[in-house]
Amino acid sequence: MPRMIHIRMILLSLALFAALPSAHAQVRVVASIKPVHSLVAAVMQGAGKPELIVQGGGSPHTYTLRPSDARALQNAKVVVWMGENLERFLHGPVKALAGKAAVVELADVAGLTTHSFREGGVWEKHGHGKQEEDHNHSHGQKHDHSHDHARIDNHMWVDPVNAKAFVSAIAAALVAADPANAELYRKNAKATQARLDALLLEMKNELEPAKKRGFIVFHDSFQYLEKRFGLNGVGSISLGDARAPGARRLREIRAKVKASGAVCVFSEPQFEPRLVSTVLEGSSARSGVLDPLGAKIENGPDLYFAMMRNNTRSLRACLAG
């Protein structure tokens, strides 16, 4: 008798399990970099977790695709990335491997605020290295650069207003790929956009006293934040590969910091503090750290918000302190 009940229970629970919507396999989604992954994770909460390509302190400018990344792209139903001006390494693989996936190129989303790369004067050419030159010749077919993609700075996510537009595009792609969870995606997207609105307001208040003072960054990845909040970024020193510059280069950089009148020089987490102090030698500028990727923050829906708050705090502490 007890044994019969036991078997019946098993059969019943199996039947129930099969009937539940949660029993359907989670949709496979791949995101390129940590802040993008975070926004995707926020929209997917309760339906599954996206995979991430560029982990930890890796740079999207210099990343090389691993075999496991290639497999993830092949199995993906949705791929979310910024675009070829940022994750250049994905340009070929997205076409070659993720042929069956819906690809969301966030740099092309409607309603974004966009800016061109800053070059010349105190802004150094962005650290894409040699790949920049081969870019237009390396892949057989010509692309249509009708909207002048090539000049657009793709570090757009550091503006929460742009992040809201990303969330809409991410939700639309998820709804199309996985209609069973459409309601959940829409609800999550709304909640994430409300959080982004609150973040925007908080940042406006926090950054108000940091507005006028000039600062320099190690790599020009913050212009969307600067322009959104009216900050005064005056130049970049482009130490793209995190290696110590030679004596001559160091003299040039020091002269540049001095001439710019910057009160702060911001490095990124992957640079050694010693390098920062070397650059600042003989200058009265203070140093701080800005992190466009959330390198040391745990992946997930909260990463984006933690990263933006850390950067806000750094800017305020160094510029208004």
Smallest distance, Zn ion to C-beta of residue 219, A: 5
What's the burial of 191, exposed, middle or buried (CB within 10 Å: 0-12/13-18/19+)? middle
Q: How far is the CB of 155 from Zn ion (least distance, A)?
A: 6
Least distance (Å) between residue 98 CB and Zn ion: 23
Q: Which is nearer to Zn ion, 157 or 185 (CB)?
A: 157
Q: How far is the CB of 62 from Zn ion (least distance, A)?
A: 10
Residues 221-250 binding Zn ion (CB under 5 A) are 221
Would you count residue 85 as binding Zn ion (CB under 5 A)?
Answer: no
Nearer to Zn ion, 195 or 219 (CB): 219
Size of the site for Zn ion (CB under 5 A): 1
What residue type is 141 in one-letter code? Q
The one segment of 106-114, 158-166, 220-228, 283-291 that binds Zn ion by CB under 5 A: 220-228
Answer for the pair 174, 43: CB distance below 8 angstroms, yes or no: yes
> In whole angstroms, how close is the CB of 232 to Zn ion at the nearest point?
20
Is 188 or 223 the residue whose CB approaches Zn ion more closely? 223
Closest residue (Cβ) to Zn ion? Answer: 221
Question: Smallest Cα–Cα separation from 231: which of 106, 318, 105?
Answer: 318
CB 168: neighbour CB atoms within 10 A? Answer: 17
Q: Which is nearer to Zn ion, 185 or 215 (CB)?
A: 215
Kindly state the smallest distance separating residue 298's Cβ from Zn ion, in Å: 22
Beta carbon nearer to Zn ion, 133 or 208: 133
Shortest distance (Å) from residue 171 CB to Zn ion: 26
Reading phi first (left if > 0) and then psi (alpha if -120 to 50, else beta), residue 91 is in alpha
**Shorter beta-carbon distance to Zn ion: residue 221 or 311:** 221
DSSP 285: -
x-marked contacts with Zn ion along 270-309 as a string, rule CB under 5 A: ----------------------------------------
Tell me how crowded residue 204 is: count the other CB atoms within 10 A of its CB: 14
Where does this chain touch Zn ion (CB under 5 A) — which range of 3-11, 25-33, 217-225, 249-257? 217-225
Q: Edge to edge, what strands does the sheet with 29-31 contain? A: 51-52, 29-31, 78-81, 102-105
Q: How far apart are CA 153 and CA 159, in angstroms?
A: 12
Cβ(81)–Cβ(31) under 8 Å?
A: yes
Q: d(Cα 207, Cα 218) in Å, to the nearest integer?
A: 20
Q: What number of H helices and E strands is found in the chain?
A: 11, 8
Using CB under 5 A as the criterion, which residues of the chain lie in contact with Zn ion when the complex forms? Answer: 221
